[in-house]
Structure 1
Amino acid sequence: MENSWKPIIPVFNPSIQPLESEAVIPKSHKDGFNGTVLDYYLKTWNIDTIVAAGFHIKSCLFHTCIGARHNNYRVVMLRDCTNSSEFPDTIDTENPEGGWMRFVFLRIYETDIGYTTTSTELMKAALNDA
């Protein structure tokens, strides 16, 4: 009997398509470090700081940042490169974060996990260090 198993090959949006030389590390949990070789891969390249951007601040992005912190990485999340998926009753235009879910998750993040900044602030800091 022929083996019908075939690996899953991810399809990426062209704007985030990894280069041929970049690793693609599949995950099966919210935390990208849990059950993957991500920690090993990053440490082989002497990476000690992760700049995080992603879709849901309250799901995979949050849990992967916690995993990074548990593996002794310095973690910086780009606030303007995330989505908090506010509920209708948590949206607040008076809140500087735009809603209470985002406000709470960012404060938990800044208290227990790492730093936050914006992509503009990061680029300015990088240009000043150059």
Structure 2
Amino acid sequence: MSTAPEQASKPSGNWSRLLLNKVVIVTGAGGAIGSAIAYGCVLHGAHVIVADINKKAADKVVRKIINENETKKECVMATELDVSDEQAIQNAIKTIVDKWNTVDVLVNTAAIFTFGSVENASAEA
């Protein structure tokens, strides 16, 4: 089952060029919300890094985007990224900057879910 929208409308109006040629990192992009955001950013002309701790999930999202719009294959890439690992973040940023010279937007949808009350949650959780 795809998490990207099946029928996306074409960008229009004043907002349609907001992301044009911007470099966007979407963390947690292997999941439903992150993949939909990544898909929308690509449709709006952004260069998108589909980042997820699960590389296979990130690759699947990229394949889906490319399969639906072959012209976007140079505008999207997958990377494995554990956002709790500072060195992994630095490595990912270096790879992205080497390819596209900058990072313009970060959309963080990566999350760790713990069960229990918020009052008992620690910063490490």
TM-score interval (norm. to shorter): 0.3 to 0.5
Question: Who wins on radius of gyration, i.e. which is larger?
Answer: 1
Q: Larger RCO: Structure 1 or Structure 2 (Cα < 8 Å, ≥ 6 residues apart)? A: 2
Going by fraction, where is strand more abundant, 1 or 2? 2
